[in-house]
Structure 1
């Protein structure tokens, strides 16, 4: 049988803390968290606590217990307990807290017992079953530290750290926090306790919200990584440029000569990305159809690429798609390396191309600029090693790092429906490690990774940072640019996907004009971005010059891309990615492009008169400006007598001493020449008649509402405010 400490203490006329202290002094192995002891130990102490326990003690506990019992007996016989008055050393703080904790827990136990026995016939109570001490849980250690969520109960904290609940509560009390076993602790409070107890804590990463997943908020998903966990990762590179300038041939040359050792010739499927190795370091290339896919990913919030290689043919120079690709990369704030291709041709003129690119802000290093330009030949392989070295150099300068020891976050490059595997997504892992069996959510798509292959078609069990892979086991095919996030279980992944789907239904993802204006007003956006298309070069330059004259300190206008020709699907996608609008001058919008704009929520406006276009842009920007608050002082009244004061309301007799005072006007209270507060006129009366306005020299009653307690001779200055729209003008 077991005996409760509380019951034995009550029987002996002691508190639980006093009993434990005396038992410890007597040589018994009693710990602060002990709540139950065996019957034999209880009997030993109880007999030793009395005056005639020597014989029993000798038989049951041996010499050590006998000596301790004799000490206790002598103390008891020497002087009655009630008369003992002796000076003691100040008790240790820990002992005081232990006593407080014990008494608090005793009260909790008695309270719980009373609830359990309320309304029951305790006379027919069956014999109690033995009560066993619950073993203290072993600490749950992850990477040398104990991982806890943002909020945790005292009980859960004790379980995770392997500490007794009483010790945790004691540490909290030492820090001035009174808590019970169910008290919720935030991470910062738990950190203080852990520091005192020499325990290393780690904040458990929270799952991505449905809004973050829906908006592709990659930066939000990555921001919680500790710098100590971050390791160097391979750069992710996209190759862009004008059609027929050799993008595909350059990629093929790199792939055929620099594939990761052991994987050459093993390409059995196309997943939109692959890895090469140069000087022992890996580089991931996105093998996508030009900048369209790059922009589509960026339109969904993903910045999956670290470096852009802009391919320009040395014999042809820049073309419209070159400029478009250049603007895409600039808008995405991705470092650009220029590959001057076809250098093996006799008609190649790299200096001409450098001159053309410098007009668009890409000035080569040898000309004093910051843009790396490398002559290459996709046919002979000339310059391939150099451009890879430059990629690694830029990667080092960008300090590309990721945490492989966390849940995976990745970006979808492309997806398709496979006859054998169903929906398959090609992804690049941004951070963490994706493993077979992981539960994932990708936008409104959920699933469990049942199969995974690398870029060469080999089956793999995991994919780390910057590694491309194709995964199967999804509910449907996701979109390019969607963000993949792993979750703890299938149920959570399914629920999160449903939440995203509901958000998509209730909230338009459009970046239409109204939404853009509201975002600028709220401070989320600071610039109106425009994709500008015109029929001729002269019109385009004239529009750029006119729009460049519109400015204001609060909002800015930026032409992110300007070109000649009709509005294309690519223009719409670019505007959508940048949360901008498309403006055309003497251009045509096809029904297909209009439909794409509707899907992306992009505003398209076309004009054939320049001044009308300028007026509309001014109107849009004016609507974005915060209105000016114009204040007009009406007049002043002097307080002659105060009739009533209650809380924030005062009724005062006044005289208008300057100009006029109007009902409902705002007031400034001036005393001894200083403004001491503000308020407003709730009602204005002349004798008993309510009036709207009174002029100089007239007496009136003012019902004032404000925080100031009015006094005789206070001056009430009346004024009104007006919100006035700001105007933009051309400079």
Structure 2
């Protein structure tokens, strides 16, 4: 209603998103634990309860899918009671609500229960002080640049405020709500998306408004030095490839595989990190020495060289200079867009069983300058070959702001109206892609070939 506003932070239920659930419990006032009436308590349910208890946050239970055949809310109550969540009707302290998200059944009662709990807790915040909050998510946007979603927890955040977030600083340049509507200020419990950061913030970082830009930069500088020192403690002697590690793991019983993870969004980074850190094969394990959001940078390559690590890019690519540095320094960068493939490769490396790989060889780059929709054919990209060569039948990866939006095969290559075997750097051409038409002007096509290469120990 008009008098009461509830801010929801939705966290995924998949087991890979443990860190996101833990962070959600830490920044909320009330946890709504959603349990399916037909599935009952799952391992992630127990974990979410533990996170809420650790954060000392009250829990309200929403038993969902009560409209489905086989739904049994009473069984869910018994299971949760065994975990310490006693329903109020059984003499306990926990409110339970039977709901159907699809039909909207019980939702009003659930929201009323949340407001009642908030009233009992007497939740208050001072809107007059400098803003303080927590980063929920961060990303790199093609148009806006570095973007962070902030939950303001106290004070009021305004356009132009200087701030410190993690090891970064900045000044609020723009601010929008969850509907993309511009705001001039945001008070307690208001989630906003801001720009104006000097570097990528990490989800879970504290956000503080300070008195000046100078103060913000001073605090961020000290934090950045501490962070760099911590990462360099993992240093240990030069680059390594995943294939080389696999061979050494089998022959020499190497204990740790050092990895640097970069991804498109913080949630993906955390999911990848959580998944690989769980991998243990006899006496070997993964050690993630650094992780973050955005394209792979020169700094990542230098850290990988110093710490004998490989770099994993999940839905992101290396910046051109970083890619050149990695090649010259022998630092291996591996790209993935499916978490199961990534985990499978790391598993094989830990077991010393990595098979010969298909080596990717980038042969050229093109820039999309026009797009043409051809009936019964699809979208054709009018391109300019900026470097290398383009060959018919090669593979193409579309990059938008260093993020991969398509990875597949070329369906056609033309010079003017004629089919072409190849097109050299400095010439224009038309390129069609298999089963993909969402091509934009400004897209960069990374053209590559794949050949099988047996693993070698360098």
Partner of 1:295: 19
How has the CA–CA distance of structure 1 residues 418 and 588 changed in structure 2, closer, same or farther, with 3 Å as cutoff? closer
Q: Secondary structure at the match of 1:281?
A: coil
Partner of 1:451: 174
Counterpart CA distance in 1 for 2:31 and 2:232 is 27
Counterpart CA distance in 1 for 2:206 and 2:65 is 37
State which of 107, 111, 133 in structure 2 corresponds to 1:388: 111
Q: Secondary structure at the match of 1:595?
A: strand
Is 1:411 the equivalent of 2:102?
no
How has the CA–CA distance of structure 1 residues 571 and 361 changed in structure 2, closer, same or farther, with 3 Å as cutoff? farther
Checking the alignment, whether the CA contact within 8 Å between 1:434 and 1:463 is kept in structure 2 is yes
Deviations 1:599-653 (A, max 9, x none): 69xxxxxxxxxxxxxxxxxxxxxxxxxxxxxxxxxxxxxxxxxxxxxxxxxxxxx
Is 1:472 the equivalent of 2:195?
yes
Which structure has more strand as a fraction of its residues? Answer: 2
Deviations 1:298-352 (A, max 9, x none): 56x9931111111111122112222222222222221111111111124221111
State which of 36, 48, 54 in structure 2 corresponds to 1:325: 48
Is 1:338 the equivalent of 2:45?
no
Checking the alignment, whether the CA contact within 8 Å between 1:297 and 1:413 is kept in structure 2 is no
Cα shift at 1:415 = 0.5
How has the CA–CA distance of structure 1 residues 296 and 598 changed in structure 2, closer, same or farther, with 3 Å as cutoff? farther
Partner of 1:430: 153
Which structure has more helix as a fraction of its residues? Answer: 1
> How is 1:94-243 mapped onto 2 (pairs within 5 angstroms)?
none
Q: Secondary structure at the match of 1:286?
A: coil
Is 1:440 the equivalent of 2:168?
no
Cα shift at 1:506 = 3.9
State which of 286, 292, 312 in structure 2 corresponds to 1:595: 286
Checking the alignment, whether the CA contact within 8 Å between 1:435 and 1:463 is kept in structure 2 is yes
Partner of 1:501: 224
Q: Secondary structure at the match of 1:303?
A: helix
State which of 106, 122, 126 in structure 2 corresponds to 1:399: 122
Deviations 1:360-380 (A, max 9, x none): 111111111111110000011
Counterpart CA distance in 1 for 2:82 and 2:21 is 28
Deviations 1:229-287 (A, max 9, x none): xxxxxxxxxxxxxxxxxxxxxxxxxxxxxxxxxxxxxxxxxxxxxxxxx4620000013
> How is 1:36-55 mapped onto 2 (pairs within 5 angstroms)?
none
Cα shift at 1:492 = 1.4
Counterpart CA distance in 1 for 2:281 and 2:120 is 44
Count residues with an aligned counterpart.
252
How has the CA–CA distance of structure 1 residues 306 and 589 changed in structure 2, closer, same or farther, with 3 Å as cutoff? same
Counterpart CA distance in 1 for 2:131 and 2:18 is 21
How has the CA–CA distance of structure 1 residues 302 and 368 changed in structure 2, closer, same or farther, with 3 Å as cutoff? closer
Cα shift at 1:483 = 0.8
Is 1:311 the equivalent of 2:34?
yes
Checking the alignment, whether the CA contact within 8 Å between 1:338 and 1:373 is kept in structure 2 is yes
How has the CA–CA distance of structure 1 residues 494 and 588 changed in structure 2, closer, same or farther, with 3 Å as cutoff? closer
State which of 280, 284, 293 in structure 1 corresponds to 2:3: 280
Structure 2 residue runs without a partner (length 5+): 234-269, 292-458
How has the CA–CA distance of structure 1 residues 487 and 295 changed in structure 2, closer, same or farther, with 3 Å as cutoff? same
Q: Secondary structure at the match of 2:147?
A: strand
Counterpart CA distance in 2 for 1:425 and 1:382 is 34
Counterpart CA distance in 2 for 1:499 and 1:336 is 38
Cα shift at 1:288 = 3.5
Deviations 1:544-591 (A, max 9, x none): xxxxxxxxxxxxxxxxxxxxxxxxx889969xxxxxxx9xxxx96269
Is 1:369 the equivalent of 2:60?
no
Counterpart CA distance in 1 for 2:287 and 2:62 is 32
Is 1:348 the equivalent of 2:39?
no
Counterpart CA distance in 2 for 1:596 and 1:386 is 46
Q: Secondary structure at the match of 2:171?
A: strand
Checking the alignment, whether the CA contact within 8 Å between 1:440 and 1:446 is kept in structure 2 is yes
Checking the alignment, whether the CA contact within 8 Å between 1:297 and 1:481 is kept in structure 2 is no
Q: Secondary structure at the match of 1:414?
A: strand
State which of 351, 355, 360 in structure 1 corresponds to 2:83: 360
Counterpart CA distance in 2 for 1:290 and 1:595 is 24
Counterpart CA distance in 1 for 2:174 and 2:139 is 15
Q: Secondary structure at the match of 1:363?
A: coil
Counterpart CA distance in 1 for 2:17 and 2:159 is 27
Cα shift at 1:463 = 0.7
Q: Secondary structure at the match of 2:26?
A: coil
Cα shift at 1:470 = 0.4
Cα shift at 1:598 = 5.8
Give the greater-gyration-radius structure (CA): 1
How has the CA–CA distance of structure 1 residues 390 and 590 changed in structure 2, closer, same or farther, with 3 Å as cutoff? farther
How has the CA–CA distance of structure 1 residues 484 and 331 changed in structure 2, closer, same or farther, with 3 Å as cutoff? same
Counterpart CA distance in 2 for 1:302 and 1:438 is 27
Checking the alignment, whether the CA contact within 8 Å between 2:280 and 2:286 is kept in structure 1 is no
> How is 1:503-522 mapped onto 2 (pairs within 5 angstroms)?
503-506=226-229
How has the CA–CA distance of structure 1 residues 438 and 491 changed in structure 2, closer, same or farther, with 3 Å as cutoff? same
Checking the alignment, whether the CA contact within 8 Å between 2:141 and 2:147 is kept in structure 1 is yes
Q: Secondary structure at the match of 1:440?
A: strand
